[in-house]
Amino acid sequence: MPFSKEKQIKIHDLMVKARLLEERLIKMNKSGLGFFWIGGAGEEAFHVPLGMLIKKGEGLDYDFLHFHYRQSATLLTLGVEMIDVIRQMHNTAADPYSGGRNFVNHFAVKKWNVVNVTSPIEVQLATCIGTGVAHRRHGGEGITIVTGGDAGTAEGEFASALGWASRKDRELPILNIVTDNRYGISTPFAEVHCDRPIAERGRAFGIESATINGNDVAESYAAIEKAMAYVRKKRKPYLLEVKVSRLYGHSSASGANWVEGEVDGIVEFEKKLKNAKILGEDDFKKVREKYEQESIEAVKKVLKEPKPKPEVIFEHIFADRKDAEIPWPPWLKK
């Protein structure tokens, strides 16, 4: 391992926290406490290191983050609270990301430059161009980081992002991450792609790229560090293709049941931690119990919280609510 014992323990802790949270969200969905689940079980080994290496803050001195809906592990690493994710799952008024408007794992955290996670696949690959342009002009070490799935690379925005980021003498400091779980919803990779790694598409644009095993913590950490160092210093784009697992299928729409035969990054990491005698079975169990408990407490609390009031549908459409008030639906009190 290229990093300290303490860091490995921390990474393990966050990975388990993210997994336990996702499993709690799935349980909530199955017991009718949340309408829909989509999330990142199976991507923790990559997303925790990513969260650790992000330059976190607000404004162009920091990284701008255009994320996919499978990045709870990154967000927990950045410091979001489990309970807030559970609030979004249960769409309560206190959901800090969308005020009960959006699905779970659709984060928006202005103070850390986390822009809205969106449903339309790959639109973030278009939006990232703009923060990339702003980052280029601003200079410094802040970069734009964007994540999308493998199937999403078929959308035009993927090519847009590569094209705009690689214009000669106008290169953009964008770290473009493709998390490849080998499926769209059900459509397998092979039905969409040629028989070459997605990372190779970078070559046509003169973009540095790499393909890595995102189920391996050390490999992920090192690859992210390398890619970020390049983007931060050279102010040029980098394409990182990351092989990940999809442990509970696409979403609750496909059942959200455990999928046999996928590599589990947590199991892999725990083997290494055990071999290195950094942590043992008892420690693993304790971490799990800690977050199991935290998630249960959080659900209990959230269930008592109010849902948003109907009138708020007209809030935050414009800076000034009055601009949205004509026409007004007759069923809604003003």
Ligand X SMILES: Cc1ncc(C[n+]2csc(CCOP(=O)(O)OP(=O)(O)O)c2C)c(N)n1
Check residue 277 for interaction with another protein (CB under 8 A).
Answer: no
Check residue 42 for interaction with ligand X (CB under 6 A).
Answer: no
Cβ 25 vs Cβ 17: under 8 Å: no
Check residue 99 for interaction with another protein (CB under 8 A).
Answer: yes
**302 interacts with, out of ligand X, another protein, none, CB within 5 to 8 A per kind:** none
- Candidates 109, 145, 175, 177: give the one binding another protein (CB under 8 A): 109
Q: Which is nearer to ligand X, 35 or 318 (CB)?
A: 35
**151 interacts with, out of another protein, ligand X, none, CB within 5 to 8 A per kind:** ligand X
Sign of CA dihedral 287, 288, 289, 290: positive
> What percent helix, strand, coil does the chain show, rounded to 5?
45, 10, 45
- In angstroms, give the least distance from the CB of 66 to another protein: 8
User: Which residues, 55 to 74, sit near another protein by CB under 8 A?
Assistant: 59-60, 64, 66
The DSSP code for 114 is B
CA neighbor of 207 nearest in space, from 244, 161, 238, 176: 238
Check residue 243 for interaction with ligand X (CB under 6 A).
Answer: no
In whole angstroms, give the CA distance from residue 200 to residue 190: 16
* Number of Cα atoms under 13 Å in the Cβ half of residue 198: 29
Check residue 98 for interaction with another protein (CB under 8 A).
Answer: yes
Q: Which is nearer to another protein, 26 or 78 (CB)?
A: 78
For residue 201, the surrounding DSSP H or E stretch is: helix 201-204
The DSSP code for 109 is B
**E strand spans, the chain:** 64-66, 144-149, 174-180, 208-213, 238-243
In whole angstroms, give the CA distance from residue 77 to residue 186: 29
- Candidates 77, 92, 127, 176: give the one binding another protein (CB under 8 A): 127
**E strand spans, 91-185:** 144-149, 174-180
Query: Is residue 159 packed enough to be buried (19+ CB in 10 Å), middle (13-18) or exposed (0-12)?
Result: middle
DSSP 3-state of 241: strand
**316 interacts with, out of ligand X, another protein, none, CB within 5 to 8 A per kind:** another protein
Q: Which is nearer to another protein, 96 or 184 (CB)?
A: 96
CA neighbor of 46 nearest in space, from 201, 268, 255: 268
- For the chain, give the number of residues: 334
Check residue 193 for interaction with another protein (CB under 8 A).
Answer: no
Q: Which is nearer to ligand X, 62 or 183 (CB)?
A: 183
Output the residue with the shortest Cβ distance to ligand X. 149
User: Which residues, 148 to 207, sit near ligand X by CB under 6 A?
Assistant: 148-152, 179, 181, 183-185
Q: Which is nearer to another protein, 119 or 186 (CB)?
A: 119
**254 interacts with, out of ligand X, another protein, none, CB within 5 to 8 A per kind:** none
Q: Which residues bind another protein (CB under 8 A)?
A: 59-60, 64, 66, 95-99, 101-102, 106, 108-110, 115-116, 118, 120, 123, 125-135, 137, 144, 156-157, 160, 163-164, 167, 315-319, 323-324, 326-327
Q: Which residues bind ligand X (CB under 6 A)?
A: 70, 119-121, 148-152, 179, 181, 183-185, 250
